[in-house]
Amino acid sequence: MPTCCSPRSPRPSWAAPSSPAARARWRALRSARSSSPPSPRASPRSTCRPSTSRSPSAPRSSSPSSSTRSRGAARHEPSRPPTVPTREEAPVSVTLEVDARGVAHLTLDRAAKRNALDMAMVDALAEHVATVAADPSVRLVVVRGAGGTFCAGADIADWAAPSNAVAADQSRRGADAFGALAALGVPSVAVVEGVCVGGGLELAMACDLRVATDGALLGLPELGLGNLPSWGGTARIVDVAGLGVARHLLLSGELVSGARAAELLLVTEAVPATGLDAAVEAVVDRLLAAEPLAVSLAKTALAGFAGHLPHEDALAAYTAGLDSSRDRKQDFLDRKAAARAAKAAAAATAVTDHPTVVTEGHR
């Protein structure tokens, strides 16, 4: 026997008052007494703008009330594809190759951005380091940058206006990746040429040895942007070159040449650019000539002396979220954009001033 709630049963006269006001009060009373969740019609209208990152599979509201609020006639629009490529579709910016000798070559391959490290590259670096750590055939790691430059540091776009939580997460991920590189049981060599600043210098310091060109530029300019190094570089500079050198580089923001960096012990040796490959190969040969187990044990013994800057992650996250820090980084990005626009305008003017001459018969 159907109940009074069955769609086929006649509705009793008391179920729906005829007056609109009474009907509204009746619906509100039934909604309050019902244990089931309210219908979409009864839910309050959200005052927030819908998120643009909604999954394409998320259902759109089909209630009449929402359709009447939309501008223009209601229409069904296909979901927009995501604008950010997936990890599989994104270009590979960190590559790993292991040669027949067991030398793992880690290359930062983002030359158009002077190999600036965005967080996808940091994560890829961490994955490659884990691969190296699990491969018993690897005896040595060589880290270098593509395009004649090592690394221009962290990508400022990732640090322009992060929340404290995001900045702390990015600090932790970078520190973990560089820490894993430093903790490898095999030696690592950074090939420093061109620019090696900020996070790039921190990456180089995570390696056991550093071979640089005389003209390379190394430094920690983060304070000028309102940031602090957060990927372990400050403590490693103290370990390698001493507290005085770390103070000078961090507080002054000065960029020193590769030749000067060798004098400060920041790099193992500095050579002319034409002799860089030969110098790196000589270091590799010496390391490969040693007994692998002895090398691993030596690294283990030395690891006990490595220090850590207390609260480095928390300090970096705090400074990255300051309004003054965000303003400095935004100013940096604006100046870079203006420089690119000026360069493009100059190129366009040059083409206008020197049009291509088309000779008869080649039109």
Q: Beta-carbon neighbour count of residue 195 at 10 Å?
A: 23
Beta bridge partners of 145: 108
| pLDDT on residue 20 | 56
Host H or E run for residue 235: helix 233-241
Q: Which residues of 120-129 are buried (b: 16+ CB within 10 A; e: fewer)?
A: bbbbbbbebb
Rounded to 10°, the helix 233-241/243-252 angle is 140
Q: What are phi and psi of 356, to 5 degrees?
A: -70, 130
Closest among 227, 228, 190 to 206, alpha carbons compared:
190
Q: What's the rounded Cα separation, in Å, for the pair 110 and 89?
A: 16
Q: Is there a catalytic annotation at residue 222? A: yes
Q: What's the rounded Cα separation, in Å, for the pair 189 and 106?
A: 10
- 240 within some domain: yes
Q: Check pLDDT > 80 for residue 289.
A: yes
CA dihedral 192, 195, 196, 197 (to 10 degrees): 170
**pLDDT band for position 26 (cuts 50, 70, 90):** low
Host H or E run for residue 73: none
- 348 within some domain: no
- 165 within some domain: yes
Model's pTM, two decimal places? 0.64
Q: Note the maximum CA span of the chain.
A: 97
The CA-atom distances, in angstroms, between 175 and each of 7, 181, 275, 309 are: 63, 10, 32, 11
- 20 within some domain: no
Q: What is the mean pLDDT of residues 46-59?
A: 38
pLDDT tens for each residue of 134-173: 999 999 999 999 999 999 999 988 877 778 888 889 999 9
- 206 within some domain: yes
Look up residue 156 and give its amino acid. I
Look up residue 79 and give its amino acid. S
Average pLDDT, the chain: 77
Host H or E run for residue 256: strand 256-257
| pLDDT on residue 27 | 59
- 58 within some domain: no
Q: Can you give the residue range of the structural domain that contains 295?
A: 94-324
Q: Check pLDDT > 70 for residue 362.
A: no
Question: Which of 88, 97, 127, 202 is an active site residue?
Answer: 202
Question: Which of 97, 222, 281, 291 is an active site residue?
Answer: 222
According to DSSP, residue 105 is labeled E
Q: What's the rounded Cα separation, in Å, for the pair 275 and 266?
A: 19
pLDDT tens for each residue of 59-94: 333 333 333 333 334 333 333 333 434 444 456 799
pLDDT tens for each residue of 237-253: 999 999 999 999 999 99
- 350 within some domain: no
Count of the separate structural domains present in the chain: 1
Total length of the chain: 363
Host H or E run for residue 28: helix 20-33
CATH number of domain containing 101: 3.90.226.10
- 164 within some domain: yes
Residue 278: half-sphere exposure toward Cβ, Cα within 13 Å:
5
| pLDDT on residue 269 | 98
Encoded tokens for 204:
């180089």
| Helix (DSSP H) and strand (DSSP E) numbers for the chain | 12, 9
